[in-house]
Structure 1
Amino acid sequence: MILPTDQKKDWVEHMSITFRANPDLPKGSVNIIVEANEATEETVQLMQSIKTLQRRNMTTIAIETDGSYEIIPTAAIVAVEVDGEMLDIQILVSQGDTARKGQLITTLTTHDTLVHFMTRLPTEFVRISRQALINIRHLRSLKLSYSGNMSASLDGGKEEIVGRRYVPGLREVIGA
């Protein structure tokens, strides 16, 4: 249900925002509660928008590997792929003076699901198949492939297949 512009304005005019200090919360924590007389599409959209804002500010991620945690800049992650019950996280390591010169890809492996891992990443990560997601900041080109799929060329020489079911979403994200 999409509301006409005048109804959206009316809904926003009846919304109130209140800050309440809660000394029982751990330092640095924020608890957001959305209250309404009933759950509506607008309240769901509001909660999704808040989650999106939270994800946009993430600059690093802790990845558990063999009993230790690697703290990785999210901008360095090129792709994430399912490998059985594990995830292979492809990370770009630049060498040399320019951003494109001497790029290497290293892989970290962690025990996680793709769906859960994606919730921990900023919004520039897009799912391209049931088995993979990519960082669109590392996307260099897309080529039509067989049966409606596409081939995505990424930094570091990485190539990924975009499943035809995921092509419309990727096109929307990149504005194509």
Structure 2
Amino acid sequence: MDYRFEKDDSLRPGAVEVLVRSQELTADVQGILAYLSRYDSKPPVILPLKTNDRLEMLKVDELVFVDVDADSLILETLKGRYIITERLYKFKERLNNPDFIQVSKHGLININHLQALEASFSGNMLAILTGKRKADVSRRYLRHLENALGL
């Protein structure tokens, strides 16, 4: 990947224009575009959660991992567990946080709470998280996790 800076006096002060060129629209290109679209937006610090009987305010940095159970999401936090009714992709959009990586069709982990990765008997990996919590990492999503970790 090549990148460079070009000065352009025709732009208004403070403006930045970014152009991404490639032969094809690959997953890497889409990743770069997604990163650029999130660059200016700050992830929320507190996320409202609507449970069955109340509205909870979750501190995002306390969220360890998210898992799907039928029609519900199970949110494991440092202080306990929340069960909400929301689609995983919608919840991930609301999080808008690069620290949360999808590790399977049914799970997200907060890489700030990742302590180790172990080989699992099924050929997948097992993420060991804060508080001895465990989450499956499928082979299909392992590359995304490795990229997020800088490997």
TM-score normalised per structure 1:
0.67
1:23-38 equivalence runs, <5 A: none
* 2:90 counterpart residue number: 116
Aligned residue type for 1:161? D
**Separation (CA, whole Å) in 1 of partners of 2:127 and 2:115:** 7
Q: What residue number does 2:5 align with?
A: 9
Distance verdict in 2 for CA 1:149–1:47, change over 3 Å: closer
Q: TM-score, structure 2 length as denominator? A: 0.77
Structure 1 portions without partners, runs of 5+: 20-34, 94-105
Decide which of 113, 118, 124 is 1:149's aligned counterpart. Answer: 124
Helix, strand or coil for the counterpart of 2:105? coil
Are 1:64 and 1:70, in contact at CA under 8 Å, matched by a contact in 2? Answer: yes
The residue correspondences of 1:38-117 to structure 2 (distance < 5 A) are: 41=20, 48-55=35-42, 57-93=43-79, 106-117=80-91
Describe the SS at the equivalent of 2:140.
coil
CA drift at 1:154 = 0.4
Unaligned runs of 5+ in 2: 22-29
Given that 1:79 and 1:90 are in contact with CA atoms closer than 8 Å, whether structure 2 keeps it comes out as yes
Deviation by residue 1:87-146 (Cα, 9 ceiling, x = unmatched)? 1111112xxxxxxxxxxxx11111111111011112100000000000011101001223
Which protein has the larger Cα radius of gyration, Structure 1 or Structure 2? 1
CA distance change for structure 1 residues 46 and 132 in 2, over 3 Å: closer, same or farther?
closer
CA RMSD of aligned residues (A): 2.8
Note if 1:171 corresponds to 2:146. yes
Q: CA deviation at 1:46?
A: 5.8
C-alpha distance in 1, partners of 2:10/2:92? Answer: 31
